[in-house]
Structure 1
Amino acid sequence: MLKLQVDNGRIILKAELQKDPGNAAALIMANYADFLELCVQQDPERYVLLLRNQEQRLEIIESHKNRNAWDDYAAAEVRMHLAMSKLLFGNRLSAAWDFRKAYVQYADNARRWPSFVPNKKNLGVLQILLGSVPDQYTWFLNIIGLEGSVKRGMTNLTVAATTKNPFQEEAQLLHALVLHLLEQEEPEQAVTRATSLARANPDNLLFHFAAMHLLKKTKQSDAALYMYHNRPVGKEYLQFPFLHHMAADLYLFRGDYDTSIQKNQLFLKQHKGKHYLKATLFKLYLAYLLYDHTPQAKWHFNRIAETGIAETEEDKYAVRYVEDAEEPVLPLLRARLHADGGYYIKALQDLKQMKLTTALPLPVRAEYFYRKGRIYHGLEDLQEAIAFYKKTIDVSGTSDLYFAPNASLQLGYIYLNANEPAKAKAYFKQALSYKGHPYKNSIDTKAKLALSDL
């Protein structure tokens, strides 16, 4: 299942479930197949069937009398999969209820079966996520009786990742992803763990995706593309269109616009879901614009508003860009893309082509200083980075641009790593204070995680 060879997994499970339809461990595995298919392929035509399958498994498990540790764990896992499946397809209220039930089940399992290691995996993840909820929402957690803790969650997840158990590799993968989310540790620690998993399991497509994701997030574009080109392929694997969308971004960062266009067109051809469609059209618009194909750029720009849904931050950003309808400043755009890919020297060269004046619109001036801060931060010139981040905050003022909150977040990380906790705390709190910007969810989560650690 973790290799994303789910059809092969289903074949193995079929004989076991025919022999023992109530086998809790086999039911968990069967649920992975449906859950992973929904997550990876996002096919709305398969949603009702695959969701019903999960609900039926949960009914079987919960009907067991004299339940043991595996029965209780299976109930929590299937409930968790159900919640995530519903959330992915927009059923938020029902998903929230299932998340609550799953968390309560995991917590109860921990009391009833304290030595059952697999239970610590998702219990830890949920504790971390609940512990990172921004302060303004904790009242809701109190009402529904849930309490998170980043510290306890990391302890549980670490035990699951370091103790031999059937779900150890999955726990190791989740541990790497959570480490990146926390960002208190050096980002290389999370990347090293994910890439090590991928290299140790060359036939595991999920591990290659995770490694590619973290390498992209940490601006190591060439290494991320290496993972993409060396991923396992074959008919036995689930078709994974999102990998092509990620690769398209990486080629866009590099400045290979033709290949970026090809990869996003392949994504649109294979993808059956509604997420990331606006983002893909936006990236195609950027690639054609920078490739100097203005008619194609305009055509894709005009389709963004009418295509897909705006639930992911990428899609929301694309909508915001269309609504703002500001004329792009090409050197600034190239600098942003080069910096996002980790090509910092090229990004500085791009910015040298700009003439910054007070006549330029506020978003352009704010982004100019923010990009310079990110570039010098990437080059580890922290004094320059600090100066430009502070300039970003000053120039942005009370606007709803995301540059100031992100600059505050980055200043928090710089001072945290410099062992100046008071300054770090002040900037993390400042990052939380900004309202209405397009990346509020992710910035608030990261700032809250950092504050909880402090």
Structure 2
Amino acid sequence: MTLKRLFFLLFLLLLKLNTYADFSYSTRCLEAYKDIFSLRLNEARELIKDERQQNPQNGMPVLLDDYVDFFNLLIADSKSDYEKLKPREDSRIDLLDDQDEDSPFYLFSKAEVYMHWGLIKGRFGDYVASARDLKRARNLLAENAKKYPDFILNQKSLALIDVVFGALPSNLKSVASFFGMKGNIRNGVAQLERLASDIKKTKYSFYDDEVIFLLCYVDVDVLHNKNNYNKLRGYLADMDNRSLLKTYLQGYVAAKTGHNDDAIEYITSIPKGGAYISLPYANYLMGTAKLCRMDTDANVYLSRYINDYRGVNYIKDAYLKLAYFYLLRNDTGKYNYYIKLVKTKGYASDEKDKQALREANDTRPDIDLLKARLFFDGGYYAKALAELKDKHQDDFKSQREKIEFPYRLGRIYENLNRTNEATINYQRAINLGRNTSYYFAANAALSMGNIYERRKDLRKAAYFYKMAIDMKGHEYENSIENQAKDGLERVN
């Protein structure tokens, strides 16, 4: 065979391979995707491996592999795993470049890889790289939407990116602006809610679990909405019943919206076994929920979280909760022991851990005020009020407690729909705390804005939202400011 003939045959072979490169949600790929969103990641890996061997021309396993890494990093929260896996982003983009350019999944799958890594990089503090990847993702999705306007999956990721950039704290907006990126939380949420309904009628209805996962994350962690429990619970009911993610989200949403008994029930029923990925955060969630209910075994779950977790978040906060567990039992020795661990263990990168460190360095909390706070966090508002009803301002010694007392009463009264009493106490907290580093005054102003917005008094709502924004140098500043800015945008 001549050299020329050999090159010609090789050319035909390569042409044939390229011709048959495609994106196919085969039966194996579909099952792998479902396993990923059930957090059965080992089963997903096996199915992806089988698909790659049986259909090496299929580009879908590349995208599914990226989902597996995304969830692993999201759950493990391990910086070392992140550094080890990060190079896979470029190699996957290279593999996807060789796939069928005429498929709507061609640009979409590359955008998904960039989006996954953009979100993960942001989580680990690589903000410039995160913004760059999310911009690439948005550009690819926008191009894909022009080519395939009826490809509904574009909407899922465009909506999420809109929310992410809309929710950025002030100190990161300059990074986003450098890349020409901005977002809108309300637009993104509205698009996700429409998609949750519309996608059921399409051939991509199996993406429903992912859309619900995003909606729960946005509603609870971005909007901090405590009033959508029944709506989110309705969404979650549609997820696969064997899904660990479903049961975990049910518990998470319940815990974050003041439905503590439901949270404990859901987390207790989380499916277990070798098929499922380890989920240490479920122990943190359970320990916190049990502490709010004053259960005697809350310490078991908080200790289990500390022992099993290999990431960087909520370690200080878990130690602080253990300290409070023993303080409530008048065990000052163990209280002091765990307060020391708050100061020496874990990291102060997440807001919860920063707050835990501040509290550990502050005076020992008043027992009744601590109980009221924990009962409130669990949604036990009548019990919370009972702890404080016979208290007076002069009963508290520290500046922190003198401000927290009216603030906590305001929060309790608001959730009991006694808003006149809530606003009186919020105003007291503002007067006492607006020039301190405690978050009570700023959050009281934010809550006042919410109350007046619900009353349709938009002028007063705007006044208090602006007041919350103008307070600087306090705890939870980014979160409170973002919520106040979103409120100000709604009422103006």
Which of 11, 15, 31 aligns to 2:66? It is 31
Contact kept, 8 Å, 2:298 with 2:325, in 1: the verdict is yes
Residues 353/55 of structure 1: CA separation in 2 closer, same or farther (3 Å cut): farther
Deviates more, 1:190-199 or 1:78-87: 190-199
1:105 match? 140
Larger C-alpha radius of gyration, 1 or 2?
2
Report the Cα offset of residue 359 of structure 1: 7.3
Identify the residue that residue 263 of structure 2 maps to in structure 1. 224
Tell me what 2:415 maps to.
Answer: 378
Between 155-164 and 429-438, report the one with greater CA deviation: 155-164
| Cα separation, partners in 2 of 1:146 and 1:91, compared to 1, 3 Å | closer
Q: Where does residue 142 of structure 1 map in the other structure?
A: 177
Distance 1:352 1:359, change over 3 A: closer
1:169 to 2:209 alignment = yes
The equivalent of 1:237 in structure 2 is 276
Residue 474 of structure 2 corresponds to: 437
The structure-2 alpha-carbon separation of the partners of 1:43 and 1:149, relative to structure 1 and needing over 3 Å to count, comes to closer
Equivalent residue for 2:244, pick from 201, 205, 208: 205
Tell me, yes or no, if structure 1 residue 419 matches structure 2 residue 456. Answer: yes
The runs of 5 or more residues in structure 2 that have no matched partner are 1-35
Kept after mapping to 1: 8 A contact 2:59/2:99: no
Q: Deviations over 1:15-61 (max 9, x none)?
A: 21224445333322221111111111224453344333343212211
- The amino acid across from 1:162 in the alignment is S
Q: Deviations over 1:335-363 (max 9, x none)?
A: 11111111122212222454421873321
| Counterpart contact for 1:402–1:437, Cα < 8 Å | yes
Alignment of 1:22-421 (within 5 A): 23-64=58-99, 66=101, 68-133=103-168, 138=173, 140-164=175-199, 165=204, 166-180=206-220, 187-194=226-233, 196-198=235-237, 201-256=240-295, 258-323=296-361, 325-352=362-389, 354-357=391-394, 360-421=397-458
Change in Cα spacing, 1:178 to 1:191, as seen in structure 2 (3 Å) is farther
Instruction: Identify if the C-alpha distance between structure 1 residues 315 and 270 changes in structure 2 by more than 3 Å, giving closer, same or farther.
Output: same
Q: Return the letter of the residue paired with 1:405.
A: A
SS of 1:389 mapped into structure 2: helix
Instruction: State how far apart, in whole Å, the 2-side matches of 1:138 and 1:100 are.
Output: 14
1:253 and 1:341 in contact (8 A); partners too: yes
> How big is the shift at 1:281?
0.8
Post-superposition offset of 1:150: 3.3
Shift of 1:251: 0.8
The one-letter code sitting in structure 2 at the alignment partner of 1:244 is: N
Relative to structure 1, the CA distance from residue 134 to residue 30 in structure 2 (aligned partners, 3 Å threshold; closer, same or farther) is: closer
In the alignment, residue 47 of structure 2 is paired with which amino acid? I
**TM-fit CA distance, 1:64:** 4.0
TM-score in terms of structure 1 length? 0.92
Give the direction of change, closer, same or farther, for the CA distance of 1:358–1:5 in structure 2 (3 Å limit).
Answer: closer
Displacement of 1:124 in angstroms is 0.4
Q: Secondary structure at the match of 1:210?
A: helix
8 A Cα contact 1:182 1:450, kept in partner: no
State whether residues 17 and 23 of structure 1, in contact with CA within 8 Å, keep that contact through their aligned partners in structure 2: yes
Are residues 18 and 226 of structure 1, via their aligned partners in 2, closer, same or farther at CA, if it must alter by over 3 Å?
A: same
Partner Cα separation in structure 1 for residue 464 and residue 455 of structure 2? 14
- After superposition, the Cα gap between the structure-2 partners of 1:110 and 1:153, relative to the gap in structure 1 and judged at 3 Å, is farther
2:118–2:133 Cα contact (<8 Å) kept: yes
Aligned length: 451
Give the CA deviation at 1:407.
Answer: 0.8
CA shift for structure 1 position 99 = 2.5
For residue 280 of structure 1, report the CA deviation from its aligned partner: 0.8
Task: Name the SS for the 1:79 alignment partner.
Answer: helix
How far 1:135 sits from its partner (Å)? Answer: 6.7
- Aligned residue for 2:326, secondary structure, equals helix
Deviation at 1:431, TM superposition (A): 1.4
Unaligned runs of 5+ in 1: none
* Superposition deviation, residue 106 in structure 1: 2.5
Which structure ranks higher in relative contact order (CA pairs < 8 Å, sequence separation ≥ 6)? 1
SS in 2 for 1:427: helix
CA distance in 2, matches of 1:346, 1:196: 30
Residues 199 and 117 (structure 1), Cα distance of their counterparts in 2 relative to 1, 3 Å cut? closer
Amino acid in the other structure paired with 2:408: R
Counterpart CA distance in 2 for 1:231 and 1:307 is 29
- Give the counterpart letter for 1:269 in structure 2: N
Query: Structure 1: how far apart are the matches of 2:235 and 2:196?
Result: 14
133-142 or 54-63, which deviates more: 133-142
Contact 1:128 1:154 in 2 (8 A): yes
| CA offsets 1:218-259 (integer angstroms, 9 cap, x no match) | 111111111111222221111100011011111111112x31
Task: Determine helix, strand or coil for the equivalent of 2:347.
Answer: coil
Do 2:166 and 2:182's aligned partners in 1 also have CA atoms closer than 8 Å?
Answer: yes
Is contact 1:132–1:448 with CA below 8 Å preserved after alignment?
no
For residues 197 and 434 of structure 1, do their structure 2 counterparts lie closer, same or farther at Cα, with a shift above 3 Å needed?
Answer: same
